[in-house]
């Protein structure tokens, strides 16, 4: 296959590669390896931290990824781009959160630490829903002397509005009834993808992305061949070029056939 015929394909994880119960469909695994055998570049684009999907990278043999919704980007195992949080604003936000009894978890590329004992019910309920092996330990000063790429603010729905008003340095994306992602303002998976495709030199016609969540909207809007999963909400489906079946119905396999990457 000539370079001009090779493509790069970015896959979200939760609700795209993985079912709701966090299992990987056999058809998806076979489809990913079929792409690789054809010489295509396969990458991940996720809101997760790098340490939250090591198992998937290993199982699918993927070394290129956009993590933290674009804030930490790795190409073939090497860090290509980072966009850390504004430290001083994060310290102020954490102080305000403490006064409202809203826990905060600090996250870098390697680990996550909570500013309160992590047995707090808001933390356990939301982190447990991810079904991951990692759970934050307690270190209220984890922000000192290191770059953080995301934080988690634990607060009931609606109470994040105060923080949105007070901290314009950040974007706030709710992912659980009790938890909100704190990200650098304007960061997105689309920016992380742009860094990778610039480096690899794929033309826009050979770029593909699959996603299902609200944090995939920029990616699906900007990647030329975008595919929304059948389980995505209407708002996400409306920005994609194609819509495949749901993750529960072998959506990745069907989507790759739909766009002509698999026969």
CA geometry: angle 123, 218, 64, nearest 5 deg: 75
Q: Which of 8, 10, 22, 84 is nearest to 46 (CA)?
A: 10
The span from the CA of 132 to the CA of 112, in Å, is 13
H/E segment holding residue 199: helix 189-200
| Residues making up the chain, counted from first to last | 263
DSSP designation for 241: S
The span from the CA of 148 to the CA of 82, in Å, is 10
29 to 35, 42, 179, 191, 251: CA distances (angstroms): 10, 12, 31, 26, 12
H/E segment holding residue 256: helix 251-258
34 to 39, 147, 244, 257: CA distances (angstroms): 9, 37, 18, 12
- End-to-end Cα distance, the chain: 15
Q: Which of 212, 210, 208, 259 is nearest to 236 (CA)?
A: 212
Contact 189, 221 (CB under 8 A): no
Verify whether residue 216 is a known catalytic residue.
Answer: no
Number of Cβ within a 10 Å radius of residue 224? 13
* Residues that are catalytic: 12
């Amino acid at each position: 296959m000539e370079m001009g015929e090779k493509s790069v394909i970015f896959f979200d994880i939760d609700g795209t590669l993985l079912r709701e119960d966090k299992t990987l469909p056999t058809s998806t695994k076979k489809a990913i390896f079929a792409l690789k055998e054809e010489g295509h570049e396969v990458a991940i684009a996720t809101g997760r931290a790098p340490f939250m999907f090591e198992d998937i990278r290993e199982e699918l043999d993927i070394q290129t990824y956009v993590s933290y919704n674009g804030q930490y980007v790795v190409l073939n195992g090497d860090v290509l781009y980072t966009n850390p949080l504004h430290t001083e604003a994060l310290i102020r936000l954490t102080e305000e959160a403490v006064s409202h009894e809203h826990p905060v978890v600090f996250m870098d590329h390697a680990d996550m630490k909570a500013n309160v004992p992590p047995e707090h019910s808001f933390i356990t309920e939301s982190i447990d829903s991810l079904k991951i092996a990692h759970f934050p330990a307690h270190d209220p000063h984890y922000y000192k002397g290191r770059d953080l790429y995301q934080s988690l603010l634990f607060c009931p729905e609606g109470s994040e509005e105060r923080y949105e008003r007070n901290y314009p340095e950040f974007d706030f994306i709710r992912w659980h009834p009790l938890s909100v992602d704190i990200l650098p303002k304007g960061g997105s998976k689309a920016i992380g993808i742009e860094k990778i495709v610039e480096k690899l030199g794929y033309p826009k016609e050979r770029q593909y992305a699959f996603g299902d969540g609200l944090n995939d909207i920029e990616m699906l809007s900007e990647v030329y061949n975008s595919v929304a999963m059948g389980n995505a909400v209407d708002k996400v489906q409306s920005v994609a070029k194609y819509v495949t079946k749901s993750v529960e119905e072998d959506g990745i396999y069907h989507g790759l056939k739909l766009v002509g990457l698999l026969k």
